[in-house]
Amino acid sequence: MTETSDQVIFWLVVAARFLVPLLIPRYPLPGILAALVIDAVDQTVFQQFTNLPLEGYQGYDKALDIYYLTIAYISTLRNWSNRFAFQVSRVLFYWRLAGVALFELTQLRPLLLAFPNTFEYFFIFYEAYRLRWDPRQMTKRLVIGAAAFIWIVIKLPQEWWIHIAQLDTTDFIKENVFGASLDTPWSEVLAANLWTIPVAIAAVAGVVLLLRWLARRLPPTDRELGLAADAHQPAFSDEQAQRALAEEARSVVDAALFEKIVLVALVSLIFAQVLPDVQASSLQLTIGVAIIVVINTALSHWLARRGFGRVSVPRHFAVMGLVNAGLFLALGLLLPRQGGAIGFGSALFFVLLLTLIVTLFDRFRQVYLMRFSLVTSDGS
């Protein structure tokens, strides 16, 4: 029987994994680093402080990874001023998204090596650069070189280690460096190997010296340090915002609609593999998602044409959430006739997930349009 404390820890970790990524649009670098740290330690927290069974954990972990990477990708629509870097990040994100979806459907681990998560570290690279330099000055050579370096030097070895060799770094160090058994507590391992303290201090000192050496060779900074995404964002006028709304609402069927369908469908397929009480084929789920996204888009455009496009994001989310709840209710009634079914809890989760993705995508794409489609005089 699961203890109450185990349930409390479980839900606190799950809440952190869903809520912390929502900081990424406003605070990109701190937000994604916090999400990355939580992703790295959540399994250790469960192992150390609970007795929860962790069978199937990897499936949940991959789905939650895709969740915060999706928020990060959508935030690039809002925040990134280097259009070429944005285009590269889009390719990297959808490459990984497709690979994880294929892996969840086939369970073929080599797919995760062929579709590495280069997007995450590329996002961190861009946001770290943006702290002190104007990213519009990034050349195509720098952007491609950074993406290639991350893909080949960092991510391919990491994906092989985790998904092909299926090695755990801490377990590997405990067994092969310290010669201890896996069930030996780390306190005992470190107490028996005090030489690690000066080695760790020397390693930290070496990293600090290396960073200082690199810092001296960087070009002079051209902006004040700002962790908030809006610290160096241009101010758009009401006229520009209205023009973006008008352009967005001009046509329901366009490239943005296709991208939203692909994005939401792939994310939904990944979560459908790990959520309980979802009995729907991939085709059924994709068709259902496509219908809902089209209705959402048509409704959003209709409201925008009637002057309701500038409501706050929470109000936009609430309105579309109610609409999607009704659509999922209708879908739940139709699925059994097609041999499928979806439980209430999973349906509620999909309502919230789909509404969040579509709401953020639509709102942040308006910023993208103001920056690139409507504001061209700055040459960016």
pLDDT tens, position by position, 192-213:
777 878 888 888 898 888 878 8
Please answer whether residues 78 and 25 qualify as being in contact, where contact means their C-beta atoms are separated by less than 8 angstroms. yes
Nearest to 156 by CA among 90, 108, 96, 98: 96
Burial of 372 (0-12, 13-18, 19+ CB in 10 A): middle
pLDDT tens, position by position, 257-279:
999 999 999 999 999 988 887 77
Structure tokens at 93: 């994100």
Distance CA 344, CA 350 (A): 10
pLDDT tens, position by position, 320-350:
888 888 888 887 777 666 666 777 788 888 8
Q: Tell me, what's the pLDDT at 114?
A: 93
Structure tokens at 282: 């991939």
Burial of 199 (0-12, 13-18, 19+ CB in 10 A): exposed
Whether the predicted pLDDT of 285 surpasses 70: yes
Dihedral sign, CA of 147, 360, 301, 373? negative
Distance CA 100, CA 266 (A): 9
Burial of 238 (0-12, 13-18, 19+ CB in 10 A): exposed
pTM above 0.85, yes or no: yes
| Cα-based torsion angle of the residue sequence 279, 285, 289, 291 in order, rounded to the nearest 10 degrees | -110
Confidence of residue 375 (pLDDT cuts 50, 70, 90): very low
Distance CA 126, CA 88 (A): 11
Percent of the chain residues past pLDDT 70, beyond the cut: 92
pLDDT tens, position by position, 115-173:
999 999 999 999 999 998 999 999 999 999 999 999 999 999 999 988 887 777 777 77
Please answer whether residues 85 and 143 qualify as being in contact, where contact means their C-beta atoms are separated by less than 8 angstroms. yes
Please answer whether residues 131 and 33 qualify as being in contact, where contact means their C-beta atoms are separated by less than 8 angstroms. no
Distance CA 32, CA 69 (A): 8
Please answer whether residues 358 and 320 qualify as being in contact, where contact means their C-beta atoms are separated by less than 8 angstroms. yes
Distance CA 100, CA 65 (A): 10
Q: Mean pLDDT across the stretch 90-113?
A: 94
Pairing of strands 341-342, 278-279: antiparallel
Exposure class string for 307-318: b at 16+ Cβ within 10 A, else e: eebeeeeeebbe
Percent of the chain residues past pLDDT 90, beyond the cut: 38
pLDDT tens, position by position, 356-368:
999 999 889 888 9
The position carrying tokens 């780390």 is 186
Confidence of residue 378 (pLDDT cuts 50, 70, 90): very low
Structure tokens at 142: 């720098």
Structure tokens at 46: 């469960």
Q: Which residues pair with 342 in a beta bridge?
A: 278
Q: Tell me, what's the pLDDT at 263?
A: 97
If you ran DSSP here, which 8-state letter would residue 184 be given? S
Please answer whether residues 337 and 284 qualify as being in contact, where contact means their C-beta atoms are separated by less than 8 angstroms. no
Please answer whether residues 28 and 128 qualify as being in contact, where contact means their C-beta atoms are separated by less than 8 angstroms. no
